[in-house]
Amino acid sequence: MQMYKIVEKINLAPQIYLMDVEAPRVAKSAKPGQFVIVKMNEKGERIPLTICDYNEEKGTVTIVFQVLGQSTIDMAGYEVGDYFTDFAGPLGEPSEFIYEDIEELKQQRLVFIAGGVGAAPVYPQVKWLQQQGVQVDVIIGARSKDFVILEEEMKALGAQVYVTTDDGSSGRKGLVTDVLKSLVDGGANYDHVIAIGPMVMMKFVSKLTAGYDIKTTISLNPIMVDGTGMCGACRVSVGNEIKFACVDGPEFDGHLVDFDEAIRRQTMYKTEEGRQMLAAEKGSHTGGCCGGKH
Amino acid sequence: MANIARIPVREQNPKKRVTNFEEVCLGYSLEEAVAEAARCLNCKNAKCVGQCPVAIDIPAFINQVKQGEIAEAAKIIAESSALPAVCGRVCPQETQCEGKCILGIKGEPVAIGKLERFVADWARENQVDTVTTQPKNGKKVAVIGSGPAGLSCAGDLARKGYEVTIFEALHEAGGVLVYGIPEFRLPKETVVKSEIENLKKLGVTIETNVVVGKTVTIDELLNEEGFDAVFIGSGAGLPKFMGIPGENANGVFSANEFLTRNNLMKAFREDYSTPIKVGQKVAVVGGGNVAMDAARTAARLGAETHIVYRRSEAELPARVEEVHHAHEEGIIFDTLTNPTEVIVDDKGWVTGLKCVKMELGEPDASGRRKPVEVPGSEFVIAVDTVIMSLGTSPNPLISSTTEGLEINKWQCIVADEETGLTSRERVYAGGDAVTGAATVILAMGAGKRAAKAIDEMMSA
């Protein structure tokens, strides 16, 4: 049985971990915008996670996750040298820009908006573009200084990075939408906004950019089981169509996504999750959630 | 002999079994099997064989059972079928082998399926070695998907000396046998796992977590990984929905999701982490075997369960045995009923299923009488969970990433019926990926035919 070894573990921020995992097949095929499904052990859940980076030579894939439910609590307990039993991917469609003409991309003005742990899926996109010579801006938003992740890494790629925190402990005080608004109002002529982070953030970014008429891409992280289009748990209304986030997405046009429905669908197993966490506290269960969390 | 009644097969009591996930049918004992086998007329021109998609020599194996030579019977079945313990349980025998049994004209046909199951289980329990393999020939074949089509194709090729690797997208091998068909119809540990172990003993390698089309492409397998041929048995995995209002509400699931959580992810077991939502009252929309599986699973998880089907009970596409078992287990059949809307509360959760009554009109293209709405007959079934079981279609992950692979308007891969050869050289396909959702045994038949064709192509 093939196993997937953890070769690096970094505590990026409170309750946010980065891991490099040996998965040569995934490392070889991964592209910006895609995700993986990780299963810790025989009885664990299939957890969809963002791909933060990949290294074909080393055969490793970098994942970043936030501790949110029992499964991610258990996952945070894994150390370098431990193994995941399953690591499937890369899943989903890559970001659309990788199919675009590089010279045309260079003419465009792109801004990424990374909310909290959403900086992880933004990173490989910024890396890919900067390495192709496409200059991008990045707005990182977080609760406070401690929760700002990957800021230095994005700067090292040559991106123009703006930081904003809820309490003003790093960068400016306020929301990512405030930063975007002041940049646009200040004359930044953005052609494309790519926003990845909490659902509410993506909803309000999309609302703002609709007013400015700027093309907006968001990345969804719904509940899913298989990640290959089989279960339909990740279905989402986009315009007048029903899409499966796992195979049609995870990235969609932010102006067409029904965010309220998507937010509601994320709560599907909340009661079960709570019950399992209570059981786990009593030491009788290793439960968790089947909610996909970037 | 012919007028002896069919030996009944023992089953778990319905009241008891609806509280557990153990197998419903308990199977024949040796004495019962021998007695049932004695009913077979051993026809010279046996009609049953021609109805079997893998052409098992049915009279020959039954004749061995009659004489108590079960190991010999197992060897005869093994010549034609790689998964007898599975097929003995899930094949629609009533429309295949048993449907043409001479005894069936005046009475009940020989219980061929139950005898096959008995032989396969006996052979497993008594470790009968039915495996015969030819020496390795150094040629490599990739099989995509570890469901019935892939397993039978891989088994046949491995026996002929090929080096076979199966690529499975999920974390466990078995395809629909593992994620779709519930434990109470097809035990996973004893039956499915042991069939897969047998394949591994033949030298078949199974690589899980490989989503072909994403993790690796067909072209990479052929051009970079040195496979001489590829067989696609990726099934029909995409669930269909009705397109009615409220279908995205919390509490509406595809049968695929509901069954996968319970079967593959074992939500019914306390020691697994998988959550499942069943609620108090469930409506399963659809009338096929998958709908019966979903309904009977929901009942076992404690819900009052309704089957909502737009035609009458006579038109149910599910096997008669499954419908019978569902009735016994207290499933309520709301037939001639068609959903028009999922009723949702202010938080987006299901509170009911709005339906309209139907009546049967003229026969349609499928030969079944077409259901027509009865005007003004709208009513609401109060439920908190709706499970959509309307069939599935093939997944485009492979066809969309394999240049030159022809598909039809239903997204099915176009393949030659006899050989499974697709529009691409060295690429074969079979099972639900080609036909759309069908049965385990038809997929197995397609896998076998493709294995034969691949062998002939490579030996040419």
CATH number at residue A13: 2.40.30.10
**In this complex, do A269 and B275 lie within 8 Å of one another by their Cβ atoms?**
yes
- Tell whether A148 is covered by a domain: yes
Band (pLDDT 50/70/90 cuts) for residue A4 is: very high
A190 and A124 co-located in one domain:
yes
Domain's final residue, options A171, A193, A219: A219
Lowest mean pLDDT among A1-5, B177-181, B263-267, B316-320: A1-5
- Tell whether A107 is covered by a domain: yes
What pLDDT digit, counting tens, does each position of B151-175 carry? 999 999 999 999 999 999 999 999 9
A105 and A198 co-located in one domain:
yes
- Tell whether A72 is covered by a domain: yes
pLDDT computed for residue B266 by the predictor: 87
The CATH number of whichever domain residue A125 belongs to comes to 3.40.50.80
**In this complex, do A87 and B250 lie within 8 Å of one another by their Cβ atoms?**
no
**What is the mean predicted confidence (pLDDT) over B419-434?**
96
A192 and A177 co-located in one domain:
yes
Partners of B232 in beta bridges: B144, B429
Q: Is A241 exposed, middle or buried (0-12, 13-18, 19+ CB in 10 A)?
A: exposed
Contacts for B69 with CB less than 8 Å, ≥ 6 apart: none
**What is the mean predicted confidence (pLDDT) over B382-386?**
96
Band (pLDDT 50/70/90 cuts) for residue B366 is: confident
- Tell whether A231 is covered by a domain: no
Query: Would you say residue A223 has pLDDT above 70?
Result: yes
**In this complex, do A228 and B276 lie within 8 Å of one another by their Cβ atoms?**
no
Band (pLDDT 50/70/90 cuts) for residue A287 is: very low
pLDDT computed for residue A285 by the predictor: 31
A37 and A140 co-located in one domain:
no
**In this complex, do B257 and A39 lie within 8 Å of one another by their Cβ atoms?**
no
Q: What's the sign of the alpha-carbon dihedral B38, B41, B46, B52?
A: negative
What pLDDT digit, counting tens, does each position of A76-123 carry? 999 999 999 999 999 999 999 999 999 999 999 999 999 999 999 999
- Tell whether A74 is covered by a domain: yes
**In this complex, do A43 and B266 lie within 8 Å of one another by their Cβ atoms?**
yes
Nearest CA in chain A to B209: A88
A202 and A125 co-located in one domain:
yes
Task: Give the closest-approach CA distance of B259 to chain A in angstroms.
Answer: 9
Pick among B209, B248, B346, B401 to test the A interface (most A CBs inside 10 A):
B209
**What is the mean predicted confidence (pLDDT) over B207-226?**
97
Query: Quick one: what percent of chain B has pLDDT higher than 90?
Result: 80
Domain's final residue, options A219, A238, A271: A219
Band (pLDDT 50/70/90 cuts) for residue B81 is: confident
Give the Cα separation of B58 and B62 in Å (integer): 6
Where is pLDDT greater, at B408 or A294? Answer: B408
B179, B271, B273 ranked by CB distance to A71: nearest: B273
Indicate the average pLDDT of chain B.
93
pLDDT computed for residue A290 by the predictor: 39
pLDDT computed for residue A293 by the predictor: 34
Band (pLDDT 50/70/90 cuts) for residue B434 is: very high
Give the Cα separation of B240 and B392 in Å (integer): 6
Lowest mean pLDDT among A93-107, A160-174, A231-245, A268-282: A268-282
Nearest CA in chain B to A47: B274
pLDDT computed for residue A294 by the predictor: 38
**What is the mean predicted confidence (pLDDT) over B396-425?**
94
A101 and A67 co-located in one domain:
no
Give the Cα separation of B237 and B259 in Å (integer): 12
Give the Cα separation of B93 and B115 in Å (integer): 11
CB B58 within 8 A of CB B41: no
Residue B367, Cβ neighbours under 10 Å: how many? 7
Band (pLDDT 50/70/90 cuts) for residue A292 is: very low
- Tell whether A30 is covered by a domain: yes
Could you say which residues from 23 to 82 on chain A have a Cβ atom under 8 Å away from some Cβ of chain B?
Answer: 25-26, 29, 39, 43-46, 70-71
Range of the domain at A46: 4-91
- Tell whether A215 is covered by a domain: yes
Band (pLDDT 50/70/90 cuts) for residue A272 is: low
Query: Would you say residue B2 has pLDDT above 50?
Result: no
Token readout for B175 is 């395809």
How many distinct structural domains can be found in chain A?
2
A133 and A160 co-located in one domain:
yes
Task: Give the closest-approach CA distance of B397 to chain A in angstroms.
Answer: 8
Query: Would you say residue B130 has pLDDT above 80?
Result: no
Interface of B with A (CB under 8 A): 169-171, 179, 207-211, 214-216, 237-239, 241, 243, 247-248, 250, 253-254, 256-257, 260-261, 265-266, 270-277, 347-348, 395-397
A122 and A178 co-located in one domain:
yes
Band (pLDDT 50/70/90 cuts) for residue B125 is: very high
**What is the mean predicted confidence (pLDDT) over B213-223?**
97
Token readout for A115 is 């909310």
Please state the separation of Cα B225 from the chain's center in Å: 31
A29, A247, A289 ranked by CB distance to B275: nearest: A289
Query: Quick one: what percent of chain B has pLDDT higher than 70?
Result: 99
**What is the mean predicted confidence (pLDDT) over B302-330?**
94
Lowest mean pLDDT among A91-100, A145-154, A274-283, B407-416: A274-283
Query: Would you say residue B198 has pLDDT above 90?
Result: no
- Tell whether A192 is covered by a domain: yes
A195 and A100 co-located in one domain:
yes
A137 and A163 co-located in one domain:
yes
pLDDT computed for residue A274 by the predictor: 57
Q: Helix or strand or coil: residue A103?
A: helix
A165 part of contact set with chain B, CB < 8 Å? no
Nearest CA in chain A to B173: A1
DSSP-assigned states of every residue in B166-207: EE-SSSSTTTHHHHTS-TTTS-IIIIIHHHHHHHHHTT-EEE
What is the separation, in whole angstroms, between the first and last Cα of chain B?
Answer: 50
pLDDT computed for residue A279 by the predictor: 56
Lowest mean pLDDT among A54-58, A256-260, A285-289: A285-289
**Nearest by Cα to B402 from B410, B417, B414:** B414
Query: Would you say residue B365 has pLDDT above 90?
Result: no
**In this complex, do A91 and B397 lie within 8 Å of one another by their Cβ atoms?**
no
**Nearest by Cα to B217 from B393, B394, B405:** B405
pLDDT computed for residue A284 by the predictor: 35
Domain's final residue, options A73, A91, A109: A91
Nearest CA in chain A to B350: A268
A141 and A191 co-located in one domain:
yes
Within B67-107, residue ranges assigned H as helices are 70-78, 84-90, 103-106
Could you say which residues from 236 to 255 on chain A have a Cβ atom under 8 Å away from some Cβ of chain B?
Answer: 236-237, 242, 247
pLDDT computed for residue B85 by the predictor: 92
A107 and A156 co-located in one domain:
yes
